[in-house]
Amino acid sequence: MRVLVLNASPRKKGTVATLLRAVADAAGDKHDVEWVDVYGLNVQPCIACMKCRPEQDCVLPEDDGHVIARKIREADALVVGTPTHWGNMSAQLKVLLDRNVPVFMGEGPRGWPQPQQKGKRAIIVVACTAPAPFDFLGNHSRGALHAVRQVLRTGGYKIVGQVVQPGTKGLSAPSGRALWKAERLGRRL
């Protein structure tokens, strides 16, 4: 099985990356894992032309958005990690996902959404500076989880699980519980 990991954190050794690495290492025992640092990609923003719907591919000039689209289509599982920014996913991840609408969703009769990744598995990793339980009560981590989950569910993914690490402002590393959960989810892929 091919697993694609999207690290949407600018910190390559931060909490999100560390948790994603735990998922990837555990999954790598049985599967082929590919890692992508989203902040290192050159992806132009979506221009909302809507031409991707009938074309099933973005019509903008070839960039890393197209490359990642092919990787998502080829992968059997997707692991997405993002820090929480204003109660949502990181800006770079949002740009990447906006550009890849046809990878996740096609249009059926009367414009009804048709999942394009049906049956594939996914894991979501989120970190937030707000301490628990305020990360969920204040809709910080919950907002980021909801946003990523919405894209994945629309695409037809079965979400195997999620890892949330609140209170990162004072942490030097993810909690043992979060790391344990990340490893466990990686083995479940």
Domain that holds residue 66: 2-188
- Prediction pTM value: 0.93
Give the integer Cα–Cα distance in Å for 33 and 52: 28
Query: Among residues 46, 52, 3, 60, which one has the least CA distance to residue 27?
Result: 3
Residue 170 — pLDDT band, cuts 50, 70, 90?
confident
What mean pLDDT is predicted for residues 24-28? Answer: 96
Going 44 to 147 to 160 to 141, the CA torsion angle's sign is positive
**Strand 158-165 versus strand 121-127 pairing type:** parallel
CATH of residue 77: 3.40.50.360
**pLDDT value of position 45:** 96
How many degrees, rounded to 5, is the angle at CA 67 between CA 66 and CA 70? 90
Distances (CA, A) of 84 to 92, 169, 171: 12, 12, 15
User: Is residue 89 a contact partner of residue 95, using CB atoms and an 8 Å limit?
Assistant: no
pLDDT tens, 136-168? 655 678 889 999 999 999 999 999 999 999 888
Token pair for 59? 């019509």
Phi then psi for residue 36, to 5 deg, are: -130, 125
Q: Into how many domains does the chain fold? A: 1
